[in-house]
């Protein structure tokens, strides 16, 4: 079977869950080969990738790759596409992942599909568009299919494979060195699961009222082992850091369970969460549009309902 | 400084959006066209940079005849002139075709800085800025929440949002920037602005004018295709209860019934 390249998402040397999802998906359609681009590669990373089915691991670990915006990673992938003629390339549909895929598509004169929620036989991708209103199946017709896949679209399943390493040396072009990262600013991360990876997300909006009040959202999240999210109103007010924003210009999440408290459900917010499997909404306004897509809704004051919910969950543990 | 802002007309997200049954492309006639929201932030940033450093702001939009409404709105906000890339041959272009056509138009117009929104509400690929940077060989400064330019030294610095916070990124002009909504608060066009926009120059470019190879654009030349599509099955109607003092407990029961707890 032909190789499918999976670009590894990693932070501080840790492989992110979405990579295991992509390897699992790739295994159903070909032979998964992981591509590590940037510093931080280790035996631990290798072991994890092999555990989830990477037959091969291409390693381009030069520090330089991490020093510039997006372009170096696209060059590593383009090099491998030229050398290995893979059947397809899978990249996580994160902000950066989509940009890498876009540049790779231009470099390799290949079609690209954005934000797939599934990929089937013949690399036909499923997408959910127009705020979840329409399901589309699409495919690449020229070049090597490049598909960005939304995190949480596939359940990761371990399946041990060889994980044979192969070093990749790519001489970066001047163009790839044009936008230099001079500083990385890391804002509070906390011990909670990553927003896009979490099985459960609890989000708060303007109704939460203040940064301090987000403690009740966090408390509910912690009893459920969930990630915390926020609406734009809450991040703009400075109540929660922007990287926790869910929505069109924030993260797209697709958890098993999404709980929204004090969020009205503007189209831009829905764009980031409407593919959640189960949606629970708490809002004091019965007319809030988010109730339209709720599986369960409580019309009430979140300062009553959320603590009671937290307490009930604690009791049932 | 010569700034070009890429502005797209998109169907109003408040109305029902559809794909055409004939060629499976977006039905641009079915819904009202509005300016892609994030592109208003791009226009605003261009205007602020011009106000700080001087220069000219040109709006570039690729789209059908009715995209002129969107172009006028950007002009009413304060942009100086516009280029409307408009040709039937462009209909149905995918992201690659669009990025190629726009890059050709940009080469023709010339620029120190190109500013885009980070995503359109219809296509939502979020790829165009990266593709343009690749095609133009210009630095990619995307997902910016802050932009600072030093036109004298020809340098630009942005704060690029990331999964963990933000990166400070530096490059030389000319460059391609995309912005997120944190960057500014777009102004509303004033009455004076709206009147002035009517007299501002809008140049229409066709495929031949912009030296766009016809076999690289349009539906037939796309690199991808829609196989089929269908309306998503509606979500099963949920249960909404009014809190009578036990709303939290009821919610917990629901979660338990779904095996979340
Ligand atoms: C270009 C652009 C991009 C955007 N991107 C995003 C995005 O990525 N994510 C995003 O979320 N938004 C985004 N927005 C903003 C979006 O349009 C809405 O303004 C935003 O989602 C509103 O947040 P909210 O629901 O928290 O606030 P509101 O709409 O003000 O809703 C607050 C809700 O809280 C309820 N409430 C108040 N007090 C209580 C209480 N005590 N108990 C229970 N309920 C209470 C109210 O009834 C109300 O429904 C974007 C907008 C633009 C223009
Ligand atoms: N047809 C178009 N004309 C002008 N600008 C566009 C067009 N399509 C996309 N853009 C720009 O590219 C950005 C990202 O769009 P997209 O890649 O489609 O999500 C938008 O915010 C616009 O700034």
pLDDT in tens, B37-89: 999 999 999 999 999 999 999 999 999 999 999 999 999 999 999 999 999 99
Q: What is the pLDDT of residue B220?
A: 86
Q: Once rounded to an integer, what is the mean pLDDT over residues A174-185?
A: 96
Which residues of B fall within a CB distance of 8 Å from A241?
165
Give A202-248 as a 3 state SS string: EEECHHHCCCCCHHHHHHHHHHHCCEEEECHHHHHCCCCCHHHEECC
Residues facing A57 on adjacent strands:
A34, A165
Q: Please list the alpha-helical segments (H only) found in B110-165.
A: 128-136
Query: Which alpha helices (DSSP H) does chain A contain, by range?
Result: 17-27, 43-51, 71-84, 95-108, 214-224, 232-236, 267-270, 302-316
> Please, which residues bridge with residue B158 across strands?
B147, B169
pLDDT per residue as tens digits for the range B8-17: 999 888 777 8
Give the pLDDT confidence score for residue A189 in this predicted structure. 66
Q: What does the pLDDT look like over A26-49, one tens digit per residue?
A: 999 999 999 999 999 999 999 999
Return the H-helix or E-strand segment holding B251.
helix B247-257
What's the CA angle centered on A87, arms A82 and A92, to 5 degrees?
A: 90
pLDDT at A200: 98
Mutate to test the interface with B, among A186, A272, A312 (most CBs of B within 10 A): A312
Q: What is the pLDDT of residue A33?
A: 98
pLDDT at residue A131 is higher than 90: no
A67/A184 Cα distance (integer angstroms): 10
- Extended beta strands in B45-174, E state: 56-62, 81-85, 113-117, 140-150, 155-161, 165-172
Cα(A102)–Cα(A112) distance, integer angstroms: 7
b (16+ CB within 10 A) / e for A46-73? bebbbbbbbbbbbbbbbebbebbbbbbb
List pocket residues of ligand 2, CB cut-off 6 Å.
B 6-8, 36, 38-39, 42, 60-63, 98, 116-117, 119-120, 123-128
Query: What residues of chain A, 132 to 171, have a C-beta less than 8 Å from chain B?
Result: 132-143
pLDDT in tens, A9-18: 998 899 999 9
Query: Could you tell me what percent of chain A has a pLDDT over 90?
Result: 90
Cβ neighbour number for residue A155 with a 10 Å cutoff: 10
**Å from CA of B164 to ligand 2 middle:** 26
Paired strand residues for B74: none
What Rg do the C-alpha atoms of chain A give, in angstroms? 21
How close is the Cα of B172 to the center of ligand 1, in Å?
38
Q: How far apart are CA B26 and CA A102, in angstroms?
A: 21
- pLDDT of A12: 87
Please tell me the number of Cα atoms within 13 Å of B122 on its side-chain side.
24
Helices (H), B110-241: 128-136, 191-197
Task: Provide the Cα torsion B231, B233, B234, B239; round to 10°.
Answer: -170
Residue A98's nearest CA partner among B94, B125, B163, B133 is: B125
CB distance A153 to A23 below 8 Å = no
Which residues in chain A are contacts of B182 at CB distance < 8 A?
236, 242, 249
Confidence of residue A1 (pLDDT cuts 50, 70, 90): low
Task: Give the model's confidence band at B28: pLDDT under 50 very low, under 70 low, under 90 confident, else very high.
Answer: confident
Q: How many helices (H) and strands (E) does chain A have?
A: 8, 18
Ligand 2 atom showing the smallest separation from residue B125 Cα: 19
In the predicted model, is pLDDT for residue B20 greater than 90? no
Ligand 2: which of B10, B26, B36 to mutate, judged by most atoms within 8 Å of the beta carbon? B36
User: Which residue from B3, B12, B71, B68 is spatially nearest to B37, judged by alpha carbons?
Assistant: B12
Residue A188 has pLDDT above 90, yes or no: no
DSSP state, residue A131: T
Interval A245-293: pLDDT, tens: 999 889 999 999 999 999 999 999 998 999 899 999 999 999 999 999 9
Q: Band of the pLDDT at B122, cuts 50, 70, 90?
A: confident
Q: Which of A243, A295, A300 sits opposite B161 (nearest CB)?
A: A243
Whether residue B261 and residue A297 make contact (CB cut-off 8 A), yes or no, is no
Q: Chain-wide mean pLDDT for chain B? A: 94
Task: Spell out the SS3 assignment of B99-120.
Answer: HHHHHHHHHHHCCCEEEEECCC
| Bond prior to B174 in cis (omega within 30° of 0) | yes
Instruction: Determine the average pLDDT of the residues in B190-214.
Output: 96
To test the pocket of ligand 2, the residue of B3, B5, B8 to mutate (highest count of ligand atoms within 8 Å of its CB) is B8
The interface pTM score, or ipTM, of the predicted complex is 0.93
Cβ separation of B130 and A297 shorter than 8 Å? no
Model confidence pLDDT, tens digit, residues A189-204 = 678 998 999 999 999 9
Q: Is the pLDDT of residue B237 over 70?
A: yes
Yes or no, beta carbons of A102 and B130 under 8 Å apart: yes
Q: What average pLDDT does range B215-239 have in this prediction? A: 90
Contacts of A207 in chain B (CB under 8 A): none
Q: What are phi and psi of A50, to 5 degrees?
A: -65, -40
A96 in reach of chain B (CB within 8 A): yes
CA distance A121 to A214: 44
Please give the distance, rounded to the nearest whole angstrom, from the Cα atom of residue A278 to the centre of ligand 1: 20
Q: How far apart are CA A187 and CA B100, in angstroms?
A: 37
Residues of chain B contacting residue A134, judged by C-beta atoms under 8 Å apart: 17-19, 229-232
Question: Which helix (DSSP H) or strand (DSSP E) does residue B76 occupy?
Answer: helix B68-77
Residue A151: the pLDDT is 93
Task: Decide: B161 and A94 in contact? Cβ < 8 Å.
Answer: no
């Amino acid at each position: 079977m032909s190789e499918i390249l999976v670009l590894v998402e990693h932070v501080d040397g840790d492989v992110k869950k979405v990579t295991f999802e992509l390897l699992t998906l790739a295994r159903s359609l070909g032979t998964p080969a992981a591509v590590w681009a940037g510093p931080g590669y280790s035996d631990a990373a290798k072991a994890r990738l092999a555990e989830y089915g990477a037959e091969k691991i291409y390693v381009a670990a030069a520090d330089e790759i991490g020093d510039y915006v997006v372009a170096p990673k696209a060059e590593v992938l383009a090099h491998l596409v030229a050398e290995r003629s893979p059947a397809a390339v899978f990249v996580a549909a994160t902000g950066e992942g989509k940009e890498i895929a876009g540049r790779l598509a231009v470099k390799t004169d290949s079609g690209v599909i954005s934000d797939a929620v599934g990929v089937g036989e013949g690399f036909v991708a499923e997408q959910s568009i127009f705020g979840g209103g329409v399901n589309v199946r699409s495919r690449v017709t020229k070049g090597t299919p490049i598909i960005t896949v939304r995190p949480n679209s596939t359940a990761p399943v371990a399946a041990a494979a060889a994980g044979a390493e192969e070093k990749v040396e790519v001489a970066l072009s001047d163009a790839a060195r044009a936008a230099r990262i001079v500083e990385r600013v890391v804002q509070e991360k906390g011990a909670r699961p990553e927003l896009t990876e979490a099985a459960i997300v609890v989000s708060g909006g303007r109704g939460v009222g203040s940064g301090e009040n987000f403690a009740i959202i966090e408390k509910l999240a912690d009893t459920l082992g969930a990630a915390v999210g926020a609406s734009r109103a809450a991040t703009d007010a400075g109540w929660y850091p922007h990287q926790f924003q869910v929505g069109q210009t924030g993260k797209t999440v697709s958890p098993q369970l999404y709980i929204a408290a004090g969020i009205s459900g503007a189209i831009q917010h829905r764009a980031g969460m409407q593919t959640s499997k189960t949606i629970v909404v708490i809002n004091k306004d019965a007319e809030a549009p988010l109730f339209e897509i709720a599986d369960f809704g409580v019309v009430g004051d979140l300062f009553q309902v959320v603590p009671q919910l937290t307490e009930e969950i604690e009791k049932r543990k | 400084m010569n700034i070009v802002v890429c502005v797209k007309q998109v169907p109003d997200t408040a109305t029902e959006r559809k794909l055409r049954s004939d060629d499976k492309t977006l039905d641009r006639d079915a819904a009202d066209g509005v300016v892609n929201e994030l592109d208003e932030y791009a226009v605003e940033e261009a205007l602020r940079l011009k106000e700080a450093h001087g220069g000219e702001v040109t709006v570039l939009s690729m789209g059908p005849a009715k995209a002129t409404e969107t172009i006028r709105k950007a002009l009413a906000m304060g942009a100086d002139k516009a280029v409307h890339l408009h040709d039937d041959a462009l209909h149905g272009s995918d992201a690659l075709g669009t990025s190629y056509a726009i890059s050709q138009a940009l080469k023709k117009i010339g620029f120190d800085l190109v500013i885009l929104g980070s995503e359109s509400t219809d296509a939502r690929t979020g790829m165009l800025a990266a593709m343009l940077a690749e095609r133009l060989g210009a630095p990619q400064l995307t997902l910016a929440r802050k932009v600072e330019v030093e036109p004298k030294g020809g340098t630009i610095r942005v704060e690029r949002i990331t999964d963990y916070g933000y990166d400070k990124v530096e490059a030389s002009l000319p460059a391609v920037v995309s912005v997120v909504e944190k960057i500014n608060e777009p102004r509303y066009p004033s009455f004076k602005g709206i009147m002035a926009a009517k007299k501002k120059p809008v140049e229409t470019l066709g495929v031949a004018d912009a030296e766009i190879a016809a076999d690289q654009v349009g539906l037939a030349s796309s690199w991808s295709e829609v196989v089929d599509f269908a309306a998503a099955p509606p979500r099963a109607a949920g249960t909404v209860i009014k809190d009578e003092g036990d709303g939290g407990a009821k919610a917990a029961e629901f979660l338990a019934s779904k095996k979340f707890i």
